[in-house]
Amino acid sequence: MSLRGEFPDEGDLVVGTVTSIRNFGAFVTLDQFENREAFIHLSEVATGWVKYIRDHIREGQKIVARVLRVDPAKSQVDLSLKRINDHQRREMIQSWKNEQRATRLLGLVAQGLKIEADATHEMFAESLVEKYGSLFGAFEAASADPKKFQKDHGKAPWIAPFLKIAGENLVPPHVGITGTLQVSDTSVHGLAHVRDALRAAELVDPEAVTVQYVGAPKYRVTVTGTQYKQVEELLKRASETALAKIKEAGGQGSFDRA
């Protein structure tokens, strides 16, 4: 059972495998739709005149195509190879690879629950695709911030094995969070005190923390990293260090998390 439904939508990009080539076009199975058959007419194989179709595609080739027409009543899907660019092709192949990987991970979750993989679809997988845009996106979210993921989805029995598989198999994506420091000091040396406070924030971790001028007395603090929890803690430390420094000098300040 496919999480994408039975048919693609017109305009979608799909990944398929060329199964048969004729003089008038090529037949393709759609990898993301349980190998449903689709057709590419000769005129949609490449721009310009195509003398020999095999100069452009071959049996067994993995292709990315755009869906031109869908007729569910006739179980017919027409595709085009020429109506996409190289960037779209690369992006779609990467998305397909991510989807294949997510499907394998879902199978591991199903094993942990001691159920068939298809049973996970109605139980939770379909709703995750709707929320995160893809199953792989759900695994990424679970890996990046397990506590938030669990909070968002409650205490369902599938949560624990899903988080376990995500944590064991995915490197959390690069994350960045920001906040706004407001620091001021009206004394004679106030400007130097503000500069020292902001510098102290950056010195908490020079590689991860940056401070940018927004408009006095506001300064944007940005922290980047791979572990969401660590990035949050680093932002907290940086802001608290700056506030302690400015208050120690006789100034004042506050911090707002973005």
- pLDDT 10s digits, 215-248: 889 999 999 887 778 889 999 999 999 999 999 9
Partners of 220 in the β-ladder: 180, 212
User: Inter-axis angle of helices 159-169 and 135-144, to 10 degrees?
Assistant: 80
Provide mean pLDDT across the span 31-50. 94
pTM of the predicted model over 0.75: no
Instruction: Dump pLDDT digits (tens) for 125-179.
Output: 999 999 998 999 999 889 888 999 999 998 899 999 999 999 999 876 677 889 9
Instruction: Identify the pLDDT of residue 174.
Output: 72
d(CA 27, CA 61): 11
Query: Which two structure tokens, joined as six digits, stand for 56?
Result: 């452009």
The tens digit of pLDDT for each residue in 76-120 reads: 999 999 999 999 999 999 999 999 999 999 999 999 999 999 999
Strand partners, 213: 219
Strand, coil or helix: 68? strand
Pairing of strands 218-225, 36-41: unpaired
- Enumerate residues 6+ apart whose C-beta is below 8 A from 161: 108, 109, 112, 113
**CATH numbers and ranges of domains, the chain:** 13-84 (2.40.50.140), 87-169 (1.10.150.190), 175-257 (3.30.70.1130)
Q: What is the average pLDDT value for the chain, to the nearest integer?
A: 92
